[in-house]
Amino acid sequence: MSIPCTTGRHDDHDVFAAQCPCRDVLDVLASKWSALAIGAMEEGPQRFGSIQRRLEGVSPKVLTNTLRRLETLGFVDRTVYPAVPAHVEYALTPLGRGVAEPLGLLRGWVEGHLDEIRSAGTEAPAQV
């Protein structure tokens, strides 16, 4: 199902179309680190270190790149407070809060069905 483009930049939005810019957004949101970073910020603004501790296993480089991509797409605001050292907080924008709900449902579904998935013979990989 395609949706007419309201900006006039293209005819419609269709994630199944190879050239649709929707795919770039879907690529970012389908990333496990993006989905988890958005979840980590659902309770309010967070500092980088707090997000990194919550997302066990993410490297500083990957988290930095993830937060930059989310900021570029308008899902996250980055605020720098003047201090020594600089105090930086990341917070969900209204757009980010809007996508947090469906991503939260997906995270909950995965947690709720993992045993069922594994017992069906589809062993979840330890690292992807």
pLDDT tens per residue, range 65-121: 999 999 999 999 999 998 888 889 999 999 999 999 999 999 999 999 999 988 987
3-class SS at 103? helix
The pLDDT-based confidence of 21 (bands split at 50, 70, 90) is confident
The pLDDT-based confidence of 4 (bands split at 50, 70, 90) is low
pLDDT at position 1, please? 56
Query: Would you state the torsion angle of the CA atoms of residues 78, 82, 83, 86, taken in this order, to the nearest 10 degrees?
Result: 30
Report whether pLDDT(6) > 70.
no
In angstroms, the CA 50 to CA 41 distance is 10
3-class SS at 80? strand
Q: Which ranges constitute the DSSP H helices of 7-93?
A: 22-29, 32-40, 48-54, 60-72
DSSP for residue 123:
P
Burial of 56 (0-12, 13-18, 19+ CB in 10 A): exposed
pLDDT at position 17, please? 79
Place of tokens 């690529």: 27
Report whether pLDDT(8) > 90.
no
In angstroms, the CA 108 to CA 3 distance is 28
Q: What average pLDDT does the chain have?
A: 88
